[in-house]
Structure 1
Amino acid sequence: MPHNDTEQELLPGQRAAVLVNEGPDFSFKIQSLDRPTVGPKEVLVELEVTGICGTDLALAAGYLGKPKSIIGHEGVGRIIAVGSASSSVAIGQRVGVGWLRDSCGSCRPCMLGGETRCQLQIFSGRMVEGTLATLTVVPERYIVPLPEDLSAEQLAPIMCAGVTAYKALKCSDASPGSWVAISGAAGGVGALAVQYAKAMGYRTIAIDGGEIPKQKCLDAGADIYLDYEKETDLKAAVTRETNGTLCSAAIVCAGSAPAYEAALTCVDYFGTLVGVGITPPTSKVAFHPLALIDTGIKIIGSMVGSRADILEAVEFVRRGLVTPKTVTIGLDELNQHIKKINEIDGKLVVRLSG
């Protein structure tokens, strides 16, 4: 039987990585905390793992405003308790907890089917406590059911990085068989974007810098690798490598203004530039309006994905078409690895319990 709200106070607490020294020198302190209180229409999830995302670093560094003391938003676990008014979920159900923790369902963006643009959206780690803890509370109406036949380590990266890559490609409206450029292709989102692009039938140009990223991109399925550190003119390089064809779409996963500006030059007439990489607050992207007017190029910003997008993205993993590469650590090892996620060969996943 589900625990009621009063019983929560009698049960053991939780372990969490608590953010300290918010800013450039941030770190985490592993602490034992009280068990979270579960509201009538909420569920309590015991998390098995959580992935670490570049957005977590931005939160911890203070780039996205004041974060909560517990960040994280790529959690996978099981429901262990439900609120007194919850009725549509079951104890033991496997669920995911992502960046978007809740949406109102009634504002104009929500009514138009865009819950990721909800005007009252709630973000994990930014407005409510995130997933770097053994326990977390989620609104019953916003749980993401996950399949049983994949490991938690494979599922965690899809909750943010994977669905972000997949949704960006969906937004591009590129036709299967056309060329798609992935800028920042060796990063957490970029490497998954290369895999999803291949699985969705695109020919993929991976853009990054260095020989190690080159091998990562080719291993992920890229048809062509372009090293931006060696190419002075990316447009010319794309044209050269594709025998004269530009890209139907470019997905910018890199968080820099030059990456956006260079990627735009690689997009063909009537193509689409999709931005998911977050630049620092002081960084501004600049281009002349004629770059759009003359070519008909569209620029779209894409942010994670809806619950339906997550389930679609997971199906690619179930079918073996996308295989997230992960490196798993314990909660006590977090401080040793979190600032090195760009050096890790795969997505960093923290094991919390189980």
Structure 2
Amino acid sequence: MSGPLRWSAAAPEHGGPDAMGAALHDFSTNSNACGPCPGALHAVRAADATRYPDPAYTALREGLGAFHGVAPRRIVLAGGASEFIHRITALAVQKGCVQVALPAHSYGDYAQAAQARGLALARAGEAGAGLAGLAGLQWACDPSSPLGRPDPAAHVWHAPADGGVPGVLRVLDCAYAPLRLEGPGAWTGRPATTPAHCWQVWTPNKALGLTGVRAAYAVAPAGAEGQVDTLVALAPSWPLGAHGVALLQAWLDPAVQQWVVGSLATLRDWKARQLALCAGLGWAVRAGSQANYFCARPDGGPDPQSLAERLAGLRGQGIKLRDCTSFGLPGHVRLGVLPPASQQALLQAWGR
């Protein structure tokens, strides 16, 4: 009899459930720990899974367009952010792109999608310097992942004098914009102004605490309707199922947005407690996170192998943290903000 199925060593690393199932106290994802949002959960459970969605997603695109103040023609639906990352990378290749510019530390699928297509990578320094201006595809994430800081590239793109770069695709990952807890741009229930010359990718499942529903959408910059047509042509039929449609429709409900905004106050309190807990353990926290997650070096920075062993020990006790080695931060962990009971479990388990 064959052994258990294992992922290839080349498979992207993610937080969340693993071969052991779901951790009782899962700090490894950035999902809203106040969730699931009751209104969104009800909508997903009530979705009619006996029928195909409208293949053009007419009503949903109209609603999302109104939410962002753009024409429905500029909305592209996707089966999750990762699916869109691969699809827009394919579009960049069609346009002759040979190099992709990435933040200093970023979500691994940006690089994985580029490398799968033979594209070179140009990675910025931590201050944002060094992004290749001639890279045909440029990524930014604000707040950034895994550090939760403002993205320097996004700051440049916001500058009034910035008019974009002809022939270059810029993509701003807004995954954590609704979970910004501090600083300018904290979520109010409506998207703030974003750079005019870039794409925006939105994944509301994180803010709604429903990451198991794979659904996302992108907002195209003005004048990019031809690129929208190409991206739609690159997609399979029905990239969203009925549950994904229900989630994104719920995202537009004012009551759901009110819940998201209300959850931020709770997350701020839990984050302050969690930061204090890490400081009490002697962990070196990377400063500057404005989101519902942050990075730290446990015990001031054990070597990566020792840290991996300790994280495996925690996993055996039902606690999971995200090793940041794949983000280019060996010796660090990323911790999503969890309730005080989970924080206490971490404190006790780490002591053991």
Q: TM-score range by the shorter chain?
A: 0.3 to 0.5
User: Greater relative contact order: 1 or 2 (C-alpha under 8 angstroms, separation 6 or more)?
Assistant: 2
Higher strand share: 1
Q: TM-score normalised to the size of structure 1?
A: 0.34
